[in-house]
Structure 1
């Protein structure tokens, strides 16, 4: 995995944790609208996406043939004018969360991701094999890794918006 990707994973996760660390239980679990997630749910979704990414890369690596597809512009994920419906596998719980328990889940899922990636012997396979991404279609496995921090960046912007919406209600 390139240093740039690694740096971006760390940088984005640090930004995310900084956004949520000082939130009260009410701010963390408050929903600004009926059809909107709370900040806690957004964060739980990010944990689930990271776990699902490990599964997707595992399945993609198990595919016998190399399925190199056209590289995608994964930065499209940052365009928040495009709404995506989260697949059921990455839909967050509706139960409230404690901030620290979500931070622990985020840390745990990141350690699992980095540990998993470190076990891949031939890293070149990540660029040669692909797996279908729910929003981006057939995606090279190395771009699955890249989309983690871009997806987090997208949701950090959403978290900032939710904070503003919740503040406006008080």
Structure 2
């Protein structure tokens, strides 16, 4: 595994866990308003997204067509001035979650990703294959990997905003 990928995934996840540590279950589940997710919902969305990203990467690797996509401006995923609606498959539920449940979900999706990624012998294949991303279109699979931590960075900023409103 690329050292940068591991460092970025680890650093971002540690920052996320730091942002939510010490919050009560009530704070985690309170929505500042009807149109805003709670912190627990943001974390549930991150779990769902990482799981879907992992499946998309596996799908892209197993596709028979060898479509090589152009590099996409995935850094834009961090820009919170650019609003995007989450696809239905990664919209969080409304059920409350406690901090232990949130940590378990986040650990599960990260372990699922690492289990796949660590068993991938030739990681350079990720730059050669692609699959369609809902926002960026056909995107090289190595950029899907980057999107895991970039997407998480975006939502860390959202969590900070939500905390300021609680």
TM-score (norm 1): 0.95
Q: 1:159 is matched with which residue?
A: 159
Which residue of 2 is the match for residue 83 of structure 1?
83
Q: Give 1:49 shift.
A: 0.5
Whether 1:136 and 2:129 are equivalent positions in the alignment is no
Number of residue-to-residue matches in the alignment: 166
Question: How far apart in 2 are the matches of 1:122 and 1:42?
Answer: 33
Question: After superposition, where does 1:102-141 map in structure 2 within 5 Å?
Answer: 102-141=102-141
> Are residues 1:22 and 2:9 paired?
no
The corresponding residue for 1:148 is 148
Q: CA deviation at 1:121?
A: 2.5
For 2:88 and 2:140, locate their aligned partners in 1 and report how far apart those are by CA, in whole Å: 22
Q: Does 1:5 align with 2:17?
A: no
Task: Measure, in 1, the Cα distance between the counterparts of 2:136 and 2:23.
Answer: 32
Structure 1: which 5+ runs fail to align?
A: none
Which deviations, in whole Å up to 9, do the C-alpha atoms of 1:120-143 show, x marking residues without a partner?
A: 222121000001111111110010
1:58 counterpart residue number: 58
CA–CA separation in structure 2 for the residues paired with 1:135 and 1:99: 30
Q: CA deviation at 1:65?
A: 2.7
CA deviations 1:16-70 (Å, max 9, x no partner) are 0011121011110000111110000000000000100111011101111321111
Match of 2:44 in 1: 44
Cα distance in 1 between the residues matched to 2:118 and 2:60:
16
CA-to-aligned-CA distance 1:85-141 (integer Å, 9 cap, x gap): 101110101100001110111111111110111122221210000011111111100
Q: 1:85-100 residue pairs with structure 2 within 5 A?
A: 85-100=85-100
Task: State TM-score, norm by structure 2.
Answer: 0.97
How far, CA to CA, are the matches of 1:135 and 1:20 in structure 2?
27
Which ranges of structure 2 fall in alignment gaps of 5 or more residues? none
Cα distance between partner residues in 2 of 1:47 and 1:20:
14
